[in-house]
Structure 1
Amino acid sequence: MRQLLFFLLAIFMVTFFYGCAYKVLKADKFLEKQEMGKAKKRIDKAIENDPRNPAAQFMLAKYYSHSVWSFDAVDSAHLYIRSVSDTFPQLENKTVKKLSKKGLDSVAVVQQALIVDSLAFAKAQAENTEDAYNQYLNTYDYLTFEEEATALRNQVAYDKAIAQNTTQAVSDFFRKYPDAPQAQKARNVFETLYYEKKTQNETLTEYVDYVKERPQTEFAEEAAFEILNIISAGAETLDYQRFIKQYNQFEASQLAQTILEGVSYEGRTDELLTHKKDSAFHFYNLEKQGLSSFQFEEIVPDSCSFIKQPFILSKQANVVFAYLKNGEKILDVNIKAIEYLGSGFFQIDDYGRDKNLVHFSQHDKLSQKAVEFQILDDFHLAKKEDDSWYLISLLGEAILKQPVDSIWKEGEVFFFKKGNNMAVASIADFKKSAKNELKSLSYLYNDYEWLDEKYLRLHSNDYETILNQRAEVFFPLEQASFNYFDAVWVKEKNGKVKVLDQNRNSLFEEDLAAFQFESGVLGVKNEMLWSVFISGFKGFPKFQYDSIRIFNSWLTYAQQDDAEYLLFQSGKKVVLKEKERYRILKNYNVAFSNVSDQIRFVEISNEKGYFKLYNGLGRMVKEGQDLDINILTPRLIQVHQNKKKQLIDSSGTEIKIKNVEAFGAFQDGLIPILQNRKFGALIVEDLKIIPAHSQSKIELFLQDSLYIFKEDNLLGISNAKAEIVVDADFEAIEFFNDSTAIVEEAGQIGIFNIYSKEYLFEDLETWERIVFGEEIFFIVRRQAGYGVINQLGEEVIPFIFNELKAYESKSKLYWLAERRLSEINYIVIAYFDKNGQVLFKEGLNFDDYLETACD
């Protein structure tokens, strides 16, 4: 009985459950009429009876996704529709069929889920935030709008990160969403922000650290250029070389290399010879030994047919353009004037207010415009804007805070003038550690001068400072006067004189009142007397002379009480007797102009005509009554006494020569000697005598060997013993080589072998000696034309040309020749190398030839 009751109860419960389940679906009609209260009441009753009732949960999903709620309850709708989706597959088939008949099946569940999904996406769109879209993407199942939501989420997140403008926000974005289309843009923005932050102070260290840390980024190249810009201020060759080595993977290193190439650009440009043919100017490159590939209709040669400047000017339809020597146009403007400044830069006036600065490489980072430019050294420029000058590097990097009135450089020192005052600086003073680190100058000085080209003395009213060649302070600014004499400094301050050595140490303890200095000899004075240091500055000063006069390095005059002295460098002291006078002897022969200081003789004489001759060591080498003394060489003196002429050396030893009538002036190692109306000569080097045998002064033909003599007004060649080598048959003789002479005989010029007595060439009209290094050539004209002979007497260029000249270019010798064919109005031009090899020849009509011919 009990089992029966239990069975009947179970049947009742099942029947009731499904009855309620089916009834709850009727709440749909209330939803259709928007009777939300009735619908909720029926749904709640079903839920109360069975919270897991799939029909009730389905209706709750429909209830919360009803349009009356918009999408405010979409999360609840999603909760219930997911529950239905999870429960429905677990129902028995019989139950599923019954629910299906009432309109609840898997399709209805899916359809409702899609409605919920749509509402969820609409809610995310309405909020339009990263979190809202992520809520949709991470919570909902069907994601009908996944693509749209993802795209919107990425854009919103990207915009937010960009708006924050921090590296953290941007890096968070591309790390969270690496596949977003904006990810690469975000990485770019990140690099921009990171670069800006890393280099915000624009210091050299910041740029260097950035390149070291992130060498592969796009900003590493920019940072490398900034490094180059900063180091270009105060840069020298070594700075650019180091940069190239350290940053060779960057384009900036190529620019640095270009700058270095510009320094030697002018020396590397080839010289061109130009000629006109067929209405066009052609160019022959001497270095490359060939015609260039370009031509111009009209050009302006530097001189005649040469293009020596590092550019070519060409005129086209009344417009002038400038070209590099490879034919590349320098700047596409009408040129009024062009000037090569140096370091690869051209200054171009194109009729505008400002001039163009253009580099031979035409790199845009090396181009500028200003009123005027000046090259100061290999790596620095002065740029004029309005009426002021600015110091800049070749890359345009500013160096000074304020403009100046003028800038120039002498040696290693830069000078800046502003108003009436000056400042100076060295290249090291221009070094920068940041882009905005501009230098200030102190305009302390009003004048300057170089001391022995080693030191710079700067004046500031009655103050002075001394700088060395590198513009480093040697003596600081003080109210004193400085002088420099052969490694000795003299400092005058407050009426006192100090003598200092090269290390600025005082040579003497005493304060001095005055000084004299000449050629290494120093005279110093205390309050009353002078002391003289003739051979160095060691020891203590001996103040003994009332007055002194320093003539040179070997002779000083001194007076002590009533006595007068000549003080010699050797330490010898010669007393001047009463009424004696002295005279330093000189030689005015131009042959000794470079060694005049080696002629050291002084003559002392009295009123009675008694003479004494001293050499530079203070040794008396000759004395006597009525001496006429003439200095011939630093070692030889002619003495004339009582109609007797005598030759002595600097020690007083006589060089005995019989029957001397006169001595001539030294020339080519010889002193002419007239004996019995014939000329011989003294060979100064070894003091050997060439016997007299010439009608006129003997001339040198070959050093220490052969000489030209005259007999019966004709010239011949003899040796040092006066033995005849070539008879005197010629009106003129010139040295050609050791065995050959250029001679003129009976009005005819020829090249004559002095040993075989045969002519190598005859009937020469003119000749010109061409010296090239240790080689000698001769341009010779014969009746047929000009040609060239080398020093061996060999024909280098045949004698067929109307014009022939030598031309030296880059340590090479060329021959430029022209041959006129007047009968056909035609000219052949030819270029030869030093040895006569034909490099180029071309035939021109006479009118074309005149376009580049010299007057």
Structure 2
Amino acid sequence: MKSKICLWLLLLYLIPDGVKADRVTKAYKKLRRNEFEKSRALVYKALEKNPQNAGAIYVFSQYFLNSNNPAAHLDSAYTYALAAISYYPQTSKKSRKYWNKSGINDSTLLANKVLIDSLAFGLASDSNLVSTYQYFIDHYPTASQYTEAIKRRNAIAFAAAQQKNTYQSYKNFIDTYPDAAQAKEARELYNVMLFDSQTAAGTIESYENFLELYPQSPFKLLAEQRIFEIYNAPHTIKSYHDFIKKYPSSSFVKQAWSWIFFLHKQDHPAENFLKTYPDFYDSRYIQKLIAAEKLTYYPVYEEEKYGFIDVNGVLQIPIRYDSVASQYFCEGVKEGFILVYHHNKVSAIDKTGKQIIDESYEAIEQLEEGLLTVEKEGKQGLYLESGFRLLPPQYEEIEMLDGNFLLLTQNGKKGLATTNGRKLTALDFDDISSPEEKLLLFEKNGKYSLLLHQQLLDTQVLHPKDTSAFTYPYTKVERVKKVF
């Protein structure tokens, strides 16, 4: 009797695992015959016994995955697929062996997840919307298509931002997808669009407001430049000095001082400069420059290098250059700048030896006193003799016009700038000339427009597309000689 009781207890111990395994396989068979309710009932019973039954959970995943099932739900199938994979390592060897006969094992569990991942990604791809890809990213983070979904979502979102093409749309993209491959381009476009929209008025006030609101903008320097150009449209000592007082922290303060020094020398002895402007930022340098500019320099050659001495034989520029401009050998250096060569590259220094133009250019020439043209890859730019760049090297030719303007040529079209580099017109004209003092003649498509100097300066045409200042009422313009 005792042995029968022990045998009964042993069978009781063994039955549950087998029964549970049998319920799993039975539920799986019912499911494959599309007997959904019976399959679900068996799964529930198995899970009541063991909520972590990986086989039953897998069958439940298949239950929700079956497209013939009215209760089919892909996200639910995915949830149970992950749970089955998680609990499977805890399953007894006996149950694994039993389930394997029906094809339920760790490989099928993983394959089930991969299949669901693919189906979910396919749904997102079919819609091809930011929202559907975002849903996939949020709900299927372990899918192999996760990275591709992010890539596609970002591309669609960026295309939408480009279609709106506003600084707000790019800002929203950057804030939402800061790690996107397009984020760098979006930031660049945001900065451009923001600057253009906030400074559309083209006034000093608009640029001041921009600097106050966006002090870290990469367009800070350009905003400061615009203020400098507009404020100093009169191109007078007073305008530059007032600018320095009003904008003492501007990046263009030193350039303003350079123009003051240049303009001062035209009407006053250079020696009086510091007496008139004791607030100049570098009195020691300017004293040295004033003294040096009085001297004529001559090349001196020693150990295959060149330097410069004055008429008294005193070495003024150290002997360290490979060559110097050929005209210096006979005439000496009378200008305020010196052309020197190092490794076959030309650069310019002032008479103190300070480099004012580096070795980036193929040629440097004087346009007029105080202004130097540079050439790079066949294009010309412009520098102030003190070393400040006024125009980048992007013009086919830079000429003086009527002593007050720079005539710029680009792609065969002409435009005007002031001598301090402020653009006055777009490069949109076939020709520009000055038939009379203080008068400008613009030619475009065989028609002509006449403007007085001051009219052009007053328009402050800073935006290339703005041609409102020009009308073309004339088809022919001739100069008439005075007869009385």
TM tier, smaller: 0.5 to 0.7
Superposed, which structure 2 residues align to 1:651-666 within 5 Å? none
| 3-state SS of 1:233 partner | coil
Match of 1:263 in 2: 263
Match of 1:272 in 2: 296
- The one-letter code matched in structure 2 to 1:167 is Y
Contact 2:435 2:441 in 1 (8 A): yes
Q: 1:334 to 1:207 in 2, by over 3 A?
A: closer
Match of 2:138 in 1: 138
Higher relative contact order (CA 8 A, sep 6+): 2
Deviations 1:443-502 (A, max 9, x none): 9xx99xxxxxxxxxxx9x99xxxxxxxxxxxxxxxxxxxxxxxxxxxxxxxxxxxxxxxx
Identify the match of residue 421 of structure 2 among 386, 392, 395: 395
Identify the match of residue 360 of structure 1 among 381, 385, 402: 385
1:40 positional shift: 1.0
Contact 2:21 2:98 in 1 (8 A): no
Contact 1:398 1:438 in 2 (8 A): no
Match of 1:229 in 2: 229
Superposed, which structure 2 residues align to 1:658-677 within 5 Å? none
Q: 1:85 to 1:407 in 2, by over 3 A?
A: same
Q: Distance in 1 between matches of 2:93 and 2:328?
A: 108
- The one-letter code matched in structure 1 to 2:368 is L
Q: What's the TM-score once normalised by structure 1's chain length? A: 0.36
1:221 positional shift: 1.7
Q: 1:309 to 1:192 in 2, by over 3 A?
A: closer
Q: Distance in 2 between matches of 1:76 and 1:362?
A: 71
Q: Distance in 2 between matches of 1:358 and 1:207?
A: 24
Match of 2:170 in 1: 170
Contact 1:347 1:356 in 2 (8 A): yes
Q: Distance in 1 between matches of 2:134 and 2:117?
A: 13
Q: Distance in 2 between matches of 1:28 and 1:416?
A: 95
Superposed, which structure 2 residues align to 1:444-483 within 5 Å? none
1:46 positional shift: 3.5
- As a proportion of its length, which structure holds more helix? 2
Match of 1:292 in 2: 317
Contact 2:24 2:46 in 1 (8 A): no
| 3-state SS of 1:218 partner | coil
Q: Distance in 2 between matches of 1:389 and 1:109?
A: 74
Deviations 1:208-231 (A, max 9, x none): 322221121102222222333334
1:207 positional shift: 2.8
| 3-state SS of 2:400 partner | strand
Superposed, which structure 2 residues align to 1:238-257 within 5 Å? 238-245=238-245, 247=247, 251-257=251-257
1:135 positional shift: 1.8
Q: 1:153 to 1:322 in 2, by over 3 A?
A: closer
Match of 1:381 in 2: 405
Deviations 1:300-327 (A, max 9, x none): 469x976444356899xxxx99975449
RMSD: 5.9
Q: 1:431 to 1:405 in 2, by over 3 A?
A: closer
Superposed, which structure 2 residues align to 1:169-188 within 5 Å? 169-180=169-180, 182-188=182-188
Match of 1:192 in 2: 192
Identify the match of residue 458 of structure 2 among 430, 435, 451: 430
Larger radius of gyration: 1
Q: Distance in 1 between matches of 2:467 and 2:156?
A: 42
Contact 1:359 1:366 in 2 (8 A): no
- The one-letter code matched in structure 1 to 2:37 is D
Superposed, which structure 2 residues align to 1:260-659 within 5 Å? 260-264=260-264, 267=270, 268=290, 269-274=293-298, 283-285=308-310, 290-294=315-319, 299-300=326-327, 307-310=333-336, 325=351, 326=353, 341-342=368-369, 344-346=370-372, 359-361=384-386, 363-366=388-391, 370=397, 372-373=399-400, 376=403, 380-381=404-405, 383=407, 392-398=418-424, 403-406=432-435, 408=437, 415-416=438-439, 430=458, 432=460, 434-435=462-463, 436=466
Match of 2:59 in 1: 59
Identity value in percent: 20
Matched, 1:40 2:34: yes
- As a proportion of its length, which structure holds more strand? 1
Q: 1:396 to 1:184 in 2, by over 3 A?
A: closer
Q: Distance in 1 between matches of 2:459 and 2:211?
A: 20
- The one-letter code matched in structure 1 to 2:420 is L
Deviations 1:343-393 (A, max 9, x none): x125799xx9x99865324544347664742574xxx4364989x996734
Matched, 1:74 2:88: no
Contact 1:384 1:390 in 2 (8 A): yes
| 3-state SS of 1:292 partner | strand
Match of 2:280 in 1: none
- The one-letter code matched in structure 2 to 1:341 is E
| 3-state SS of 1:293 partner | strand
Contact 1:389 1:406 in 2 (8 A): no
- The one-letter code matched in structure 2 to 1:45 is K
Contact 2:154 2:177 in 1 (8 A): yes
Deviations 1:59-85 (A, max 9, x none): 34225546999xx95335236547879
Q: 1:187 to 1:270 in 2, by over 3 A?
A: same
Q: Distance in 1 between matches of 2:373 and 2:135?
A: 67
1:186 positional shift: 3.4
Contact 1:430 1:439 in 2 (8 A): no
Match of 1:103 in 2: 99
| 3-state SS of 1:25 partner | helix
Q: 1:438 to 1:270 in 2, by over 3 A?
A: farther
- The one-letter code matched in structure 1 to 2:38 is K
| 3-state SS of 2:99 partner | coil
| 3-state SS of 1:291 partner | strand
Q: Distance in 1 between matches of 2:143 and 2:299?
A: 83
Q: 1:438 to 1:167 in 2, by over 3 A?
A: closer
Contact 1:47 1:53 in 2 (8 A): no
Contact 2:21 2:99 in 1 (8 A): no
Superposed, which structure 2 residues align to 1:837-852 within 5 Å? none
Deviations 1:523-563 (A, max 9, x none): xxxxxxxxxxxxxxxxxxxxxxxxxxxxxxxxxxxxxxxxx
Contact 1:416 1:423 in 2 (8 A): yes
Match of 1:217 in 2: 217
Q: 1:439 to 1:263 in 2, by over 3 A?
A: farther
Match of 2:273 in 1: none
Contact 1:137 1:149 in 2 (8 A): yes
Deviations 1:237-259 (A, max 9, x none): 33333444555555444444444
- The one-letter code matched in structure 2 to 1:365 is L
Contact 1:78 1:113 in 2 (8 A): yes
1:124 positional shift: 3.5
Contact 2:371 2:384 in 1 (8 A): yes
Q: 1:22 to 1:157 in 2, by over 3 A?
A: farther
- The one-letter code matched in structure 2 to 1:345 is L
- The one-letter code matched in structure 2 to 1:47 is R
Q: How many residues align?
A: 399
Deviations 1:80-131 (A, max 9, x none): 5478799x89xxx9x9898656428995896445653454345445544332
Match of 1:839 in 2: none
Q: 1:141 to 1:210 in 2, by over 3 A?
A: closer
1:334 positional shift: 7.7
| 3-state SS of 2:220 partner | helix
